[in-house]
Chain A
Amino acid sequence: MSFLSSLNIGGSGLTAQRFRMDIISQNIANSDTAETENGEPYIRKTAVMQERKGTKSFSDVLGIKGKLRSGEGVEVTAVEEDESAFKLVYEPENPAADESGYVRYPNIDMVKEMMDMMSATRAYQADITVINAVKTMAASALKIGK
């Protein structure tokens, strides 16, 4: 436990959303990358989020003074590759074209990426309100008796 460990819950949200935004930015930046080092087009990636379960000591599971434990926040546990098919565009002059003259482009839909980015941004802001709430309540607690 750390001082005001409640802050870690909101903090984990900030970290996770920021990571997610980085992945989305990467997708957007590579939406036209028909050929990466391995010769394949860039594959769209997504961040997999899961509820964070920290390592718990025995006393944590029992709860100190019988206190219950809430969750520990969220974390990105994996970066998954999108399995959907690449986009085929007819460009016979392109050196990356296959025998039929089609070039494979990454399976990235700009509109979807922008929507995801907005969703991540909103989630980030919600996480900030969470942290502010903890701050406010801690400040209240310190006023006891004053």
Chain B
Amino acid sequence: MFITPLSGINPVAEITSQLEAVKTEKQENSFSDILSDLISNVNETDMASKEDILKIATGDSDDLHTIAINSEKAELALLTLIQVRNKVLDSYNEIMKVTL
């Protein structure tokens, strides 16, 4: 009967390398990534919109369509974020309702 010597296996290294593989797979569309993308998008569009407001206030704007479009984009970005949050909350509540 053989007992395989322990030195032939390095379990920790194996597991961490497996974890790495899984991580890089999920990296592209993990939910938290999508969420942080959304948040930074809201940030960007909001900042652009604020800059535009300053431009109007200081009288430095000529093409109004850019400003109008930027403000619409900011609003839609925020709306997207809110809807995602709502969905997450709804799912959470659904899960919590499951009596264990």
Contact A1 B62 (CB under 8 A): yes
In the complex, per-residue mask of A1-44: 1 if CB is within 8 Å of any chain B CB, else 0: 11111100000000000000000000000000000000000000
Q: Interface residue count for B (Cβ, 8 Å)?
A: 13
Closest to A6 in B: B62
Interface of B: prevailing SS? helix
Contact B69 A2 (CB under 8 A): no
Contact B62 A144 (CB under 8 A): no
A141: Cβ under 8 A from any B Cβ: yes
Contact A142 B64 (CB under 8 A): yes
Q: Which of B3-11, B26-34, B53-61 participates in binding chain A?
A: B53-61
B80 shortest CB reach to chain A, Å = 15
Contact A141 B56 (CB under 8 A): no
Q: In the bound complex, how far is the Cα of B17 from the Cα of A81, in angstroms?
A: 92
Closest to B59 in A: A3
Interface of A: prevailing SS? loop
In the complex, per-residue mask of A74-115: 1 if CB is within 8 Å of any chain B CB, else 0: 000000000000000000000000000000000000000000
Residues of B within 8 A of A3 (CB): 56, 59-62
B40 shortest CB reach to chain A, Å = 22
Q: In the bound complex, how far is the Cα of B71 from the Cα of A6, in angstroms?
A: 22
B-to-A contact residues, CB < 8 Å: 56, 59-65, 68-69, 71-72, 75
